[in-house]
């Protein structure tokens, strides 16, 4: 998403991206437009070597930006002495926030994140600017109601946050109801819970229906989402849920836990399905409902409506524009 914003803003502005850590995704770098300048700091994870801070400061002084837009709160430690206008976007709930007051403006990706900030930081104002995607890059689904019913979950494999274990437990009764080979699921992503989730799938008798596909490039995901019949986001914590928007762009139905971030995306159930967070039985019930709904008339039309809604709210061009407008307000305010 940050790549998309940089590319969009670079159409009419000078944009540079400073990447701190050395462990970067080459696919992400290749996705950046030639109009975007890139500075690689090369810091090893968890390194305390001050050289990397010096290198980052030198890069900023060389570029001479009007606005520095941070996406990690701790950057304020070396940004504070610099005279540039500084803003930050907070991307998730359930975070420890200590120094956001050091920024000239604080942005949130959702109302859920904004409320979380206000609960932790007195006297901080935060403006919501929703994440966005490039809708034209996502291949659209055109047919519904076929079997096997293919479910996908996209995200970091960390069940304590993303709740993949809830989805696996929900799948068991659905499989018993509709037949094991009629309901299949793919997990896309890597993370610390992979071994646990593979073992859980085996324990639940679902190993033959589950695939763990590892990390996939965004291009691959955008090309393949349309082949699925449902995206499930069973998160325990989620500030937004960009994969939900991506599925809506592919005209694939979505099922989310009823926590605030994802519920904002589907407008509290108007443009998607939801289940009671942490409740695998309710998740199972909703999956069964969606499977049955997908075989009814009018289902494709409803998905088209959900697509139009998502495009009107979460287009990357709007996200980039709103940030540019906010930068101008920050600069004007700081000159007063």
Q: How far is CA 238 from CA 81, 89, 180, in A?
A: 33, 15, 30
C-beta neighbour count of 268 within 10 angstroms: 12
Domain boundaries, the chain: 2-132+315-335, 135-313
Specify the pLDDT at position 124: 86
Query: Tell me: the pLDDT tens digits for 242-288?
Result: 999 999 999 999 999 999 999 999 999 999 999 999 999 999 999 99
DSSP-based three-state secondary structure for 120:
helix
CA distance 323 to 69: 10
Specify the pLDDT at position 95: 76
CA distance 15 to 7: 8
DSSP-based three-state secondary structure for 271:
coil
Report whether CATH 3.30.1360.150 matches the domain 2-132+315-335: no
Under-70 pLDDT residues of the chain: 334-336
Specify the pLDDT at position 183: 96
What is the widest separation between alpha-carbon atoms in the chain?
67
Angle at 93 between CA 91 and CA 94, to 5 degrees: 130
Residue 273, phi then psi, degrees to nearest 5: -100, 155
CATH number of the domain located at residue range(s) 135-313 in this protein? 3.40.50.2000
Fold match, 2-132+315-335 / 135-313: yes
Specify the pLDDT at position 97: 78
Query: Tell me: the pLDDT tens digits for 124-162?
Result: 899 999 999 999 999 999 999 999 999 999 999 999 999
Phi-psi region of 44 (alpha: psi -120 to 50; beta: other; left: phi over 0): beta
Specify the pLDDT at position 25: 78
């Amino acid at each position: 998403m940050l790549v998309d914003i940089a590319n969009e803003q670079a159409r009419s502005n000078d944009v540079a991206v400073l990447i701190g850590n050395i462990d970067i995704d080459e696919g992400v770098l290749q996705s950046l437009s030639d109009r975007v300048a890139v500075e690689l700091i090369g810091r090893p994870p968890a390194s305390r070597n001050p050289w990397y801070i010096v290198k980052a400061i030198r890069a900023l002084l060389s570029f001479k930006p009007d606005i520095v837009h941070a996406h990690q709160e701790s950057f304020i430690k070396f940004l504070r002495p610099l005279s540039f206008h500084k803003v930050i976007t907070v991307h998730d709930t359930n975070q420890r926030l200590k120094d956001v007051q050091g920024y000239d403006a604080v942005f949130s990706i959702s109302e859920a994140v904004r409320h979380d900030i206000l609960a932790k930081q007195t006297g901080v104002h935060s403006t919501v600017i929703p994440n966005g995607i490039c809708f034209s890059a996502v291949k659209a689904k055109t047919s519904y109601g076929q079997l096997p019913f293919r479910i996908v979950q996209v995200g970091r494999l960390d069940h304590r946050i993303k709740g993949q274990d809830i989805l696996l437990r929900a799948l068991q009764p659905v499989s018993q109801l509709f037949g094991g080979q009629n309901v299949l699921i793919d997990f896309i992503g890597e993370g610390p819970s992979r071994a646990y989730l593979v073992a859980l799938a085996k324990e639940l008798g679902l190993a033959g229906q589950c695939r763990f596909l590892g990390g996939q490039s965004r291009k691959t995901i955008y090309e393949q989402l349309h082949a699925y019949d449902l995206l499930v986001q069973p998160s325990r914590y989620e500030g937004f849920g960009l994969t939900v928007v991506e599925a809506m762009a592919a005209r694939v139905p979505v099922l989310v836990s009823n926590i605030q971030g994802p519920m904002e995306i589907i407008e509290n159930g108007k443009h998607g399905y939801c289940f009671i967070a942490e409740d695998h039985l309710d998740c199972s019930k909703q999956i069964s409902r969606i499977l049955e709904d997908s075989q009814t008339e009018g289902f494709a039309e409803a998905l088209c409506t959900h697509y139009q809604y998502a495009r009107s709210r979460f287009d990357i061009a709007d996200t980039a524009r709103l940030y540019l407008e906010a930068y101008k307000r920050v600069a004007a305010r700081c000159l007063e």
